[in-house]
Structure 1
Amino acid sequence: MKKIIVPVDFSDHSKYALESAAILAKKYNAEIFALHMLEMSETILSQGEADIQSETIFFLKLAENRFNEFLDLDFLKDVKVTPIVKHFKVFSEVNDVAKEHNVDLIVMGSHGSSGLKEIFVGSNTEKVVRHAEIPVLVVKNKPTTLSFDNVVFASDFSEETVTPYLNASKLFETLGSNLHLVYINTPGDNFSSTSEMEKTVANFLQKADGNLDKLSEVQFISDYSVEKGVLNYANVSGADAIAVATHGRTGFTHFLAGSISEDIANHAALPVVTFRIK
């Protein structure tokens, strides 16, 4: 892990993300790209070209000054930090910046959300998670330490999650983590018998790893929902973080289908790392 990007909106939660990134940067000698997206108002955009240019420069300078002040933090000392200011607040652009700089990980702070606000508005973190093609680490709290010794990887072990699993395995191997594979069995239409679960996981591991060496290590957990099962298992197993695959749904499809991974990222107290299903 050599490059980490952190979207910054000057909130406490983006500061938590920066501090988490700093811990990782010091441990792995990585560079941090601190990204602030400046939201230009419709009033500015409707003005003449000359007015837009002068006012844009003014707001960019204002943002850069505030950005530099915000980045003057003790925990960033001895860390290489490259500030980036973009003109528009378009959350898919975080992924574009990450690709441009060949970044390995996005770190975002999130306060989590619930109820109608979560359904209709969502959070900035969710928007980045939906578009990101690289892993996204979501943190909720000020980090005292940031460990990835034991990571729970929750999956339905479908064929489409093979690539996220391989990406997670690669990342956490470089971090020296123990990756614990978990299958959550729920009542209703998604219920599976023991033999059905084992067959699904065996087919998955054969395709992903080319062997069944990890089959005996997979945990089969029953709970009322996937989210509850993942969070409860992570709690009782003493996990340091949770890893999940995400479809990256957007728009009305996301509203109808929802995303279990985003629910977990929203509600988990632990850091959550998402991996995009391609």
Structure 2
Amino acid sequence: TAPAILFLLIPLVLGLVALLGWMMLEPWLRKRPEPRPPVVQVPETGLTALDGPKYRRILVTLDHSRLDRIALAHGAAFARAHDARLLLLHVEEGVTSQIYGELAETAEVQAGRAYFAALAQSVRASGIETELAVLHATRTSAAIINFVRREAPDLLIMGAHGHTGLQDLMFGATINEVRHAVGIPVLIVRE
């Protein structure tokens, strides 16, 4: 019986080795087609006829960090260029805010209100029409998405902290979730 097993086993092993060899070499043996340059169609009237978007309502999300000033600077520049209104949004997600919502009154919430009111006032003082909204929610991304759907801004500007990979899993990936859910352009700014 031993020669019979070898008689079956040797061809089986050789076949598997040949199959493995083919699988490893086949990608290099396959002829690859020559890459074709992309075809770009320019309108007959030329690029000067393309009208850019007109932003009337620009939403800037704020998170009480140093990125607020950067996001606001971009928002103000767009608002001036388009004679647009700025909507400033902060989502309060502390434990007290999650439980009591708009009734939350902690020193942190009060300090946040004062900070955001001062930011809004400084933007108004520069001649830009500005609205401020502070929401209380358990999930920042869901609150931003709902706000965008309700208020219908033309552009969303968000500050990014530069988290990648594992940090996104630990600290959340608000921007990623929001940008996939809203149907408007999203400008992500960093330091």
Indicate the SS of the match to 1:218: strand
1:249 to 1:271, Cα distance in 2 relative to 1, 3 A? same
Deviations 1:207-264 (A, max 9, x none): x7696998x8311222332112112122222322222111232233234323312221
Aligned equivalent of 1:267: 181
1:151 equivalent to 2:58? Answer: yes
Please give the alpha-carbon distance, in whole angstroms, between the structure 2 residues aligned to 1:190 and 1:212: 31
1:155 to 1:273, Cα distance in 2 relative to 1, 3 A? same
* TM superposition shift of 1:158: 2.1
Aligned equivalent of 1:169: 76
Counterpart of 1:225 (choices 139, 143, 146) is 139
Aligned equivalent of 1:106: none
1:250 to 1:77, Cα distance in 2 relative to 1, 3 A? farther
Query: Structure 1: which 5+ runs fail to align?
Result: 1-42, 47-54, 81-144
Please give the alpha-carbon distance, in whole angstroms, between the structure 2 residues aligned to 1:182 and 1:272: 14
Deviations 1:150-191 (A, max 9, x none): 111111132332122212321332233211111112352776
Indicate the SS of the match to 1:171: helix
Please give the alpha-carbon distance, in whole angstroms, between the structure 2 residues aligned to 1:227 and 1:250: 17
Aligned equivalent of 2:41: 72
Aligned equivalent of 1:195: 110
1:252 equivalent to 2:166? Answer: yes
Query: Structure 2: which 5+ runs fail to align?
Result: 1-24, 99-103
Q: Is the 8 A contact 2:55 2:84 kept in 1?
A: yes
Counterparts of 1:1-278 in structure 2, within 5 Å, are 59=34, 62-64=35-37, 67=38, 69=39, 71-72=40-41, 74=43, 78-79=46-47, 146-186=53-93, 188=95, 193=105, 195-202=110-117, 204=119, 217-276=131-190, 278=191
Give the TM-score normalised by the residue count of structure 1.
0.44
Letter in 2 for 1:185: E
Letter in 2 for 1:197: G
- Structure 1 or 2, whichever has the larger Rg, is 2
Please give the alpha-carbon distance, in whole angstroms, between the structure 2 residues aligned to 1:213 and 1:190: 32
Aligned length: 150
1:251 to 1:229, Cα distance in 2 relative to 1, 3 A? closer
Please give the alpha-carbon distance, in whole angstroms, between the structure 1 residues aligned to 2:140 and 2:125: 26
Q: Is the 8 A contact 1:202 1:212 kept in 2?
A: no
Q: Is the 8 A contact 2:76 2:123 kept in 1?
A: no
Percentage identity across aligned positions?
Answer: 11
Letter in 2 for 1:149: R
Indicate the structure with greater helix content: 2
Q: Is the 8 A contact 2:120 2:131 kept in 1?
A: no
Letter in 2 for 1:176: D
